[in-house]
Structure 1
């Protein structure tokens, strides 16, 4: 792995990789495995990146594909560990805000795989068009899904 590759694909997009991996894992060990696998897949396929889209769009697509693949494989295996608390690095010590974020991520983890991907991208302030491009779906479908996901999250969080 070269410094140029690391700086362009990993370092500049670590936040994207981090958020996607966190949304599909329950333990720190799984998160580290997913993060490492995403980086490996980026390395393996970076020569195919043609600069036709933003690097971040490509990174989202690779990260989501890796996480969805691993997540589907994990669902087939029996659970051996209890769900751990979401470990997030909060910049503020406001416990109410941290609790709200934990509740949000806990609710997001209860969504279907594709819905998780859509809401993560939405929370990253991606436009409906960008979300559609990343996921390979139609723009109007993204809008419908986002509204349904918001309602589902409200129900999951507030009962």
Structure 2
């Protein structure tokens, strides 16, 4: 299989992940630009993928690093006011959360970007070792974050049934 075909297949297999990251970090106004930037960075680094991790783990790492760099660049260019305004408008109200996806999105909006990334990868079935590799933190730190995220979800969305 040639490189271009393999790259297209990798994009098709990971498009949902890439789009979610672009939406999460870019929001409504920058999601398309961020998506394109992630695709560009994936293409630029595709030939150097060594196979030491799964292709999905590698995609997460490139996409999250690109998204972080993209956001930092935007902040440096004084677009933070627009970002804060956009983020506050996107916050769903509790009464609007009906289905499980709405509840999950509402919860993820409350998390830091790192915790949202951990949760996204965890829900996508990545092992804690792979998540740790993507984020550059220890496996124990990932497991601790997952436990804390689960506890926070239970406190905010499951509640006391008594």
TM-score by length of 2: 0.75
* 8 Å CA contact 2:7, 2:46 repeated in 1: no
In the alignment, the residues of structure 2 paired with residue 19 and residue 44 of structure 1 have an alpha-carbon distance, to the nearest angstrom, of 21
Greater C-alpha Rg: 2
State the Cα distance separating 1:60 from its structure 2 match: 0.8
In the alignment, the residues of structure 1 paired with residue 147 and residue 10 of structure 2 have an alpha-carbon distance, to the nearest angstrom, of 31
2:80 corresponds, among 74, 78, 86, to 78
Q: Label 1:34 to 1:158 Cα distance change in 2 as closer, same or farther (>3 A).
A: farther
Q: Label 1:131 to 1:78 Cα distance change in 2 as closer, same or farther (>3 A).
A: closer
In the alignment, the residues of structure 1 paired with residue 69 and residue 156 of structure 2 have an alpha-carbon distance, to the nearest angstrom, of 25
TM-score by length of 1: 0.76
Q: Label 1:156 to 1:37 Cα distance change in 2 as closer, same or farther (>3 A).
A: farther
Paired residues, what number?
Answer: 147
* Equivalent residue runs for 1:134-149 within 5 Å: 134-149=134-149
* 8 Å CA contact 1:23, 1:105 repeated in 2: no
Any gaps of 5 or more consecutive residues in structure 1? 87-94
Q: Secondary structure at the match of 1:150?
A: helix
Greater fraction of residues in helix: 2
Q: C-alpha deviations, 1:45-77, integer Å up to 9, x for none? A: 112111222211111100011112223344562
Partner residue in 2 for 1:13: 14
Any gaps of 5 or more consecutive residues in structure 2? 92-96
Partner residue in 2 for 1:49: 49
* 8 Å CA contact 2:132, 2:142 repeated in 1: yes
* Equivalent residue runs for 1:6-155 within 5 Å: 6-27=7-28, 29-75=29-75, 77-80=79-82, 82-83=86-87, 96-97=98-99, 100-155=100-155
